[in-house]
Amino acid sequence: MDVNEVLLPGVGMRYEFANREGDRMCVVARRSGDFELMVYEGADPDEARVMCRLTGEEADTLAEILGAPRIAERFADLTKEVPGLGAGQVEVRAAGPFAGRPLGETRARTRTGASIVAVVRGEDVIPSPGPGELLRAGDVLVVIGTRDGISAVEQIIQG
Amino acid sequence: MNVSVALMLELGAILAALSVLGALARRFALSPIPLYLLAGLALGEGGIAPVPAAGPFVETGAGIGVVLLLLVLGLEFTVPEFAVSLRRHLPSAVVDLVLNATPGAVAGWLLGLDGSGILALAGVTYISSSGIVARLLGDLRRLGNRETPAVLSVLVLEDFAMAGFLPLLSVVAAGGTWRQALLGVLLALGAVVAAFTVSYWWGHRLGRALLHLRPDPEQLLLRVLGVTLVVAALAEAVHVSAAVGAFLVGLSLTGEAAERARQVLSPLRDLFAAVFFLAIGLAISPRALLPVLPAALLLAAVTALTKVVTGWYAARREGAGPRGRLRAGTALIARGEFSIVMIGLVGVRQDRLGALVAAYVLLLAVAGPVITRFAGARPAPGAGAGRLGGPPPPPGPGDGERLRATP
């Protein structure tokens, strides 16, 4: 997709694109770290209507929501590009030692070298989960690492 | 330690009053600068509430205010923004300079001012307030509009022109024989070129030195302020004005160092800039204001029009429609902080010039935002509404190339 970038000197950057239905929209990323989301409408294509303003944190949240369904897909692409690196999925079982305990306690990365890059919980995806993230029975962990690393994580999580 | 009760009381009352005025101005999306000036006028000699104890502090604070205003202006510079603005809008910048500096120079000549007065007045009418305009565009939600990059480019190029103009003005204002003046100009231009060279080749090293050992905000504030004040003092000692020295320091810093310095300095800048505007108001007697009012009104009317033409021209280069061009032109009308800095540089001692510029800025800092708010605004709902379900809007002229250029 073509994204048109326009420099706004002293203010930040504006990104514009048109969707399939022909709506033109743009995002202004301000130097201050804030964002504005706008659409162009009406007969005058010179004017944008601001839909909302977001702080940096709010923008991150929005990006995560919009990007979540693609995360697993992107990791799959990534592992194709880097030889020796693989992606695996490990389920947290109710009987396992970590159901109901924080992710940090698994010490998975320290012990195996493989990283847990996302937690899939039903319909939700928690990308880049922090060590404080509580694991629940039924969660699926997306693990990136060597083949040995991934199976080591599996052993840790499932006991 | 001896605490002056009178100083604290007066200063506290002044700052509290300024905050009320500022809040009032923000409510109507106006600049607080004219209100600060008015407050100064009211507090000065012949005003309604003189403040003898706070006087010396305000005077010192005003000096620091100018230094901080220009330091932060220098920090705002980024080479890519300047390069992009120059590439797209050099003709707009030329139109801007010719159309807007000329009325000021002519007015100065008609009023019988000396060389530095004429030069200062040309600068006063030339420079739009980037502070007011940039804020206004955000407040009026026009950052997505097609004319906005043109407006911002004109502002960036004006600020850049200031880099050459301010040293020139401060040297001419210092007076002396033409030989001294020429030497001073060369020295000042040399300093500007040196600052840009340093920024270009060694900016990252300067930044690294400044950010050495990962300073906390307090450390960073002390470092930047310390260095700036020393450089400002040295500049003043060689008659290049402390403000210009501070500007050069700002120019030399780039990237992350500039970003972080701007963050820690901005609140301090806001405080002392308010004190500076107050001091300018204090230095002008309200009685001097009335006689210059007709001249200020005329000059304001003429230069508001020339700014509209400038903005019209610049926005047309971006392919904006007539309403967008009008919005761009009216957005540029506001004059503010740097017009006041100019009279600070040539000295408010030139009482007539000081009063004229104060009246001029009072008029345009208020009128500019008001005019642009109503000029070229969106038509009443109904005219352009009902878009959902309707046919898509026709693409505007000059719209296609940039959007569809990439395959």
Task: Give the pLDDT confidence score for residue B126 in this predicted structure.
Answer: 95
Q: Has residue B176 got a pLDDT over 80?
A: no
- Contact A46/B at CB under 8 A: yes
B396–A45 C-beta distance less than 8 A: yes
Q: Which residues neighbour B319 within 8 Å (Cβ) at sequence distance 6 or greater?
A: B146, B396, B397, B398, B399
Per the CB < 8 A criterion, the answer to whether B134 and B152 are in contact is yes
A6–B152 C-beta distance less than 8 A: no
Confidence of residue A43 (pLDDT cuts 50, 70, 90): low
Mean pLDDT of B383-401: 41
- Please tell me the least confidently modeled range out of B18-32, B136-150, B292-306, B338-352: B338-352
- Please tell me the least confidently modeled range out of A120-129, B32-41, B45-54, B60-69: B45-54
- Using an 8 Å CB-CB cutoff, list chain A residues near B134: 10-11
Mean pLDDT of A8-35: 87
Task: Give the pLDDT confidence score for residue B168 in this predicted structure.
Answer: 82
Per the CB < 8 A criterion, the answer to whether B224 and B49 are in contact is no
A40–B321 C-beta distance less than 8 A: no
Confidence of residue B148 (pLDDT cuts 50, 70, 90): very high
Q: Has residue B104 got a pLDDT over 90?
A: yes
Task: Give the pLDDT confidence score for residue A68 in this predicted structure.
Answer: 66
Mean per-residue pLDDT over chain B, rounded = 83
- Using an 8 Å CB-CB cutoff, list chain B residues near A2: 403-404, 406
Task: Give the pLDDT confidence score for residue B360 in this predicted structure.
Answer: 94
- Indicate if the alpha-carbon torsion angle B34, B250, B91, B328 is positive or negative: negative
- Please tell me the least confidently modeled range out of B23-32, B58-67, B96-105, B330-339: B23-32
- Using an 8 Å CB-CB cutoff, list chain B residues near A36: 141, 143-144
- Contact A43/B at CB under 8 A: yes
Task: Give the pLDDT confidence score for residue B387 in this predicted structure.
Answer: 40
Task: Give the pLDDT confidence score for residue A76 in this predicted structure.
Answer: 64
Task: Give the pLDDT confidence score for residue A73 in this predicted structure.
Answer: 66
Mean pLDDT of B21-49: 81
Per the CB < 8 A criterion, the answer to whether B370 and B197 are in contact is no
Give the percent of chain B with pLDDT over 70. 88
- Using an 8 Å CB-CB cutoff, list chain A residues near B406: 2
Mean pLDDT of B212-237: 85
Q: Which residue of chain A has the CA closest to B75?
A: A10
Domain ranges of chain B: 5-374
Task: Give the pLDDT confidence score for residue B404 in this predicted structure.
Answer: 36
Q: Which residue of chain B has the CA closest to A53?
A: B141
- Tell me the per-residue pLDDT of B320-339, one tens digit each, with 9 for 90 and over: 888 899 999 999 999 988 89
Fold assignment, B5-374: Na+/H+ antiporter like fold (1.20.1530)
Mean pLDDT of B26-44: 83
Sheet holding A4-8, edge to edge: A4-8, A12-18, A24-30, A35-40, A48-54
Q: Which residues neighbour B358 within 8 Å (Cβ) at sequence distance 6 or greater?
A: B37, B41, B280, B281, B284, B289, B340, B343
Confidence of residue B43 (pLDDT cuts 50, 70, 90): confident
Q: Which residue of chain A has the CA closest to B153?
A: A9
At CB < 8 Å, which residues of chain B contact A? 76, 80-82, 84-85, 130, 134, 137-138, 141-149, 152-153, 155-156, 320-321, 323-324, 378, 384-385, 387, 392-396, 399, 402-404, 406
Higher-pLDDT residue of B263 and B385 is B263
Identity of the residue in A6, A38, A45 whose CB atom sits nearest the CB atom of B393: A45
- Chain A to chain B Cβ contacts (< 8 Å): 103
Higher-pLDDT residue of B248 and B302 is B302
Mean pLDDT of B97-114: 92
B387–A28 C-beta distance less than 8 A: no
Task: Give the pLDDT confidence score for residue B1 in this predicted structure.
Answer: 64
Concatenated DSSP letters of B163-209: HHHHHHHHHHHH---HHHHHHHHHHHHHHHHHHHHHHHHHHHHHHHH
Task: Give the pLDDT confidence score for residue B288 in this predicted structure.
Answer: 82
Higher-pLDDT residue of A92 and B376 is A92
ipTM: 0.74
B402–A14 C-beta distance less than 8 A: no
- Using an 8 Å CB-CB cutoff, list chain A residues near B143: 8, 11, 14, 28, 30, 36, 38, 48
Query: Rounded CA gap, B295 and B311, in Å?
Result: 24
Give the highest mean pLDDT range of A19-33, A61-75, B176-190, B262-276.
Answer: B262-276
Q: Which residue of chain B has the CA closest to A18?
A: B403
Confidence of residue A115 (pLDDT cuts 50, 70, 90): confident
Distances (CA, A) of B18 to B13, B342, B357: 9, 23, 21
| Mode of pairing for the β-strands spanning A140-145 and A115-121 | antiparallel
Query: Chain A closest CA to B316's CA: distance in Å?
Result: 11
The helix/strand count (H/E) of chain B reads as: 16, 0
The helix/strand count (H/E) of chain A reads as: 3, 9
Confidence of residue B310 (pLDDT cuts 50, 70, 90): very high
- Please tell me the least confidently modeled range out of A101-105, B74-78, B198-202, B392-396: B392-396
- Using an 8 Å CB-CB cutoff, list chain B residues near A23: 392
CATH code at A85-158: 3.30.70.1450
- Is pTM beyond 0.80 here? no
Identity of the residue in A10, A16, A18 whose CB atom sits nearest the CB atom of B156: A10
Task: Give the pLDDT confidence score for residue A85 in this predicted structure.
Answer: 79
